[in-house]
Amino acid sequence: MRLAPLGRRFAARLGAAGALTVLALVAACLTAPESPASLATRAQPGLSSSRDQATRLVADGAVTLGTDSPFAPDAAVLLTGEGGAWPAPEEAPDSSGPVPPPSPPASGLSAFLPAEDVPPLTLDEIFPPRDLAALRLDPSRLRVLVATGDVIPARRVDAAVREREDDFLFPVAQTADVLRAADLTFINLEAPLISDCPLHRSGFVFCGRPGFVQALVHAGVDVAGLENNHIGNYGGRGVRATRELLKEYQIDYADRHTLAIREVRDLRFGFLAFNGVGSAIDRRAMTAAIQQARPQVDVLVVAFHWGAEYTSLPRPAPGVAPDDPVEIAHLAVDAGVDLIIGNHPHWVQAVELYEGRLITFAHGNFIFDQMWSLPTRQGVVGRYAFYDDRLVGAEFLPVLIEDSAQPRFLDGEEGEPVLERMRVASQSLAERLAGR
């Protein structure tokens, strides 16, 4: 692998986040486009995550943070916003063995904060995001999960790839660095990937071609949710082909029957997914699946495909998506879910904190060709920071889809309207639920 340069603009954008370390940013540069034959073996042997790979690079001297880095002036602190989020290791780890945990704070400073003492999140600490630097967290116990909006490699997305001589990395060219910098990356894959997928620029029977898996690997996708109203557009054969392709490239899939489990530094994350578009969710079966999964993992994440389209507040769509997303979400949390990732409405929607658990009702679009309105071209990448098994930070990175296929991050003021729409919707939902 070669190391791609870390541009100042990219670094500045990530530096505003409270959930990533500089080591994770270095990991964002690790994976350059690879040949299809090497995609399935992108991780270095013996290193459990991109963060471990980055740590090894720093230890071996392959990567240095000079005084001209956007993260300077203090090389001993990993900067996020105005303060340092996590202390850097005082000494380079021994590259011959596992990466050791960081040293405790210097003499005179308090010890790392226990997970149980971290204050619960509030809406005011999501919009804008909480500064993790103030919490004295042990960086070795932080894990970052990112989740995107709908990924639909069909219609004009596939056409855009074909027009560029089958450049399957085109859809993720502007966002892959951020996605693969996380410890875990989850997407909702809303089209089967089949070898006989025809060129189609319209219609509602979706498919993508197997080559799109290159984009998923390049973006560091770990788990794909396969519960939605388009994954079955080519019947059981399309679903089976997609599962087999994902498995070949070491990407797990989650559905109502399949619990995907990924381990990040001894913490087990589990993923389930449920679809409520086209028919109602079987609440009894959903509850049973969650309760069965709960003791198998430390953190349980559930993805839902649900609700009315083109609205900022979650609500049912009679005859199409009959369930009330709020009711379903509360039922899932009561059954044992730690984080809910919602999609389908094609707009960003409100978030809710219920019983200390975060519900993101919709992340909007991520890779889709709905260029006919600004809200359908917009979405967010959710970045969720866990300290041990507790969610301690959530941040939403706005994106805008260009050329029918390629999202790019919106920096600063350009992205503020998207976040403000989410904030206002979240406050409105909180007030409505408080009045029940």
Q: Which domains does the chain have, with CATH numbers?
A: 8-126 (no CATH), 142-434 (3.60.21.10)
Q: What is the mean pLDDT of the chain?
A: 82
Condensed to tens digits (0 to 9), the pLDDT of residues 369-385 reads 999 999 999 999 999 99
The more confidently predicted of residues 326 and 101 is: 326
Condensed to tens digits (0 to 9), the pLDDT of residues 24-70 reads 433 333 333 443 333 433 333 333 444 444 444 334 443 333 333 22
**Amino acid in the structure at residue 271:** F
pLDDT bin (cut points 50, 70, 90) of residue 109 is low
Condensed to tens digits (0 to 9), the pLDDT of residues 297-311 reads 999 999 999 999 999
pLDDT of residue 413: 94
* Cα–Cα distance, 301 to 211 (Å, whole number): 28
pLDDT of residue 148: 98
Tokens linked to 421: 């729409």
Look at residue 200 and tell me whether its pLDDT is greater than 90.
Answer: yes
Under the phi-then-psi rule, with left for phi > 0, alpha for psi from -120 to 50, and beta for the rest, what region is 271?
beta
SS3 333: helix
Partners of residue 383 on adjacent β-strands: 146, 395
* Cα–Cα distance, 92 to 4 (Å, whole number): 22
